[in-house]
Amino acid sequence: MIPLTQSYYSGASNTQIIYQTIGDYLDHICARFPDNEALVVPHQNVRWTYARFKREIDRLATGLLALGIQQGDRVGIWGPNSFEWALVQYATARIGAIMVCINPAYRLHELEYALNKVECRSIVTAESFKTSEYLTMLQELAPELASCMPGKLKAQKFPHLETVIRMGQDATSGMLNFSDVCDMGTATEYAQLDQIKSTLRPDDPINIQFTSGTTGSPKGATLTHCNILNNGYLCGVSMGFTDQDRLCIPVPLYHCFGMVMGNLACLSHGATAIYPAASFDPVATLRTVQEEKCTGLHGVPTMFINELDHPRFGEFDLSTLRTGIMAGAPCPVEVMNRIIGDMHMEDILIGYGQTETSPINHMTLPDDSIEKRTGTVGRAVPWVEIKITDENDRVLPIGEKGEICVRGYSVMRGYWDDEERSSETIDTAGWLHSGDLGVLDGEGYMQVVGRIKDMVIRGGENVYPREVEEYLHTHAKIAEVQVFGVPDPEMGEEICAWIQLYPGESMSAEQLKDFCHDQITHFKIPRYVRFVDEFPMTITGKIQKFVMREQMEAELEPG
């Protein structure tokens, strides 16, 4: 390879992009590997072959058609990892509806915004999980559920929402049961399902992923069949997947990591997707790897650290593991060495990207050195272009720091119903501006060195300070607030808030956290709170978050 001189690299490939809908490709895989296990969910006693999986998907798809869900309608999915989650993903794709991923940790404020932003017509929801009482929250926001006919909701706060479909067997006023919807399809709907196939296109939007915004409310990244099917396929190729592989997926399905790099990576190769628990649990993950003889395991660094450091780690036989993807935060060298040595994952890969790019645009490969797998995020994946630019959008020489920009099949359609922010992110030449700072070396390997925007990555979850700040500003006692991240050995970063109260007001850190409880997601709630009289500023009056961060780092430093 000729050494690069400018910071531009294009991922090469000797294969073609899969230009099919997810439904068509699903048919192809199910016909090719009908007896392979497609989905295993131990905590729900589910073990389905591809033939059975397709039947269950079509049962839900025809049930949705019977409810009147049409191509382009938005269907929300809210809950932890489950077989129902997977069925919604594929059933909506088969009928051309757009699945809206709702973070299982969302609370009232965030749920109301998300459903209304994309005008969800239906939502499929779990009953509850941990401290999240999903049905109770929906009933609080839509008290009309208590008296409406199921499927006929007319709620003041949700003018577009008609149908709430609840998982589980209990009956709830105004809601349909998931199993009942799966029984609704008749010969008419099955015929309709066949007819719909020919009307769907690979470039149709099929999924909306909410990603926090630096300028306020979450944005709905809108992804197509072609976007996510190919990204999942390429993840599988990078891991060397065949139909004999078995992937343990402890990462959340509501995020691209789970539903694309997990579910679709498996589907596109006829491999087996395995959910060890409803949400991440280190012992359940280790046990599942052993019992299901998993060959692959996904996770953010925090998950792998929790598994390796668990007192029971030595009890489990992980010798079947070979590969997997680690993403969401940098991996320390010592952790990578332990994963390779103690977990037998010689071919573990590092992935990097954004929700807006479906999500992976860089990945290391198994034959890359440890240095490359810990010091870089790899090279551009096939069919994707990368460049590093200065503030004037000029490509920089190799080795110089600038903004990472991406172009190719994986770039989203845009942010749902937000032309202004879409055009700010994707320029007229089709380049998506990531907001991340990177350095490209002469071999095309990327090192991510910072963020233009102030995004905080806490345990693999992206948190944008502006979103938290805007919520805290709704408190009557708060005059000004600044939110930023500080280093944390376990989570990577933690959330810190500096608060300036109105004159004469008082508040404790616990009162602030109580104000956030059940209103914003738990990982966005500041762990560290400081009440201040003023903020460090430049002469021109610009607040200096880096000064606050330095002061907090010094204060939190042990000893």
**Which H, E and C letters describe 250-287, residue by residue?**
CCCCCCHHHHHHHHHHHHCCCCEEECCCCCCCHHHHHH
Minimum mean pLDDT range among 11-20, 233-242, 273-282, 409-418 = 11-20
Per the prediction, the chain carries an average pLDDT of: 94
Q: How confident is the model at residue 263 (pLDDT cuts 50, 70, 90)?
A: very high
Which carries the bigger pLDDT value, residue 438 or residue 542? 438
522 is a domain residue: yes
Alpha carbons within 13 angstroms on the beta-carbon side of residue 362 total 27
Region 504-511: mean pLDDT is: 96
CATH number for 486: 3.30.300.30
Provide the pLDDT for residue 80: 96
- The predicted model gives 176-183 an average pLDDT of 98
Q: Report yes or no on 462 lying in a domain.
A: yes
Residue 308 predicted with pLDDT over 50: yes
Residue 105 scores a pLDDT above 90: no
Interhelix angle 225-238/22-32, nearest 10 degrees = 40
What's residue 215's pLDDT? 46
What is the band of 231 on the pLDDT scale with cuts at 50, 70, 90? very high
| 519 lies in some domain | yes
Q: Does 328 or 205 have the greater pLDDT score? A: 205
Task: Examine residue 257 and state whether it is found in any structural domain, yes or no.
Answer: no
Is 535 within the bounds of a domain?
Answer: yes
Q: How many Cα neighbours within 13 Å face the side chain of 517? A: 7
Residues 6+ apart with CB under 8 A from 495: 456, 458, 463, 468, 483, 485, 523, 524, 525, 526, 527, 528
Kindly report the pTM of this predicted structure.
0.86
pLDDT at 301 over 90: no
Q: Containing domain of residue 546, as a range?
A: 458-556
Give the percent of the chain with pLDDT over 70. Answer: 97
Q: What is the mean pLDDT of residues 331-343?
A: 91
Question: How many domains is the chain built from?
Answer: 1
Say what the pLDDT of residue 541 is: 56
pLDDT digits (tens, 9 = 90+) for 18-38: 999 999 999 999 999 999 999
pLDDT band, very low/low/confident/very high, at 329 (cuts 50, 70, 90):
confident
Could you report the per-residue pLDDT of 392-430, keeping only the tens digit for each?
A: 999 999 999 899 999 999 999 999 999 999 999 999 999
Domain presence at residue 125? no
pLDDT: is 329 or 281 the higher one? 281
What is the C-alpha to C-alpha distance for residues 500 and 516, in angstroms, rounded to an integer? 17
- The pLDDT value given to residue 4: 87
Domain contains 439: no
- In this prediction, residue 178 carries a pLDDT of 98
Write the pLDDT tens digit of every residue in 52-68. Answer: 999 999 999 999 999 99
- Which pLDDT value is given to residue 181? 98
Whole-number Å distance between alpha carbons of 426 and 102:
24
Q: Per-residue pLDDT averaged across 168-190, rounded?
A: 98
Domain for residue 198, yes or no? no
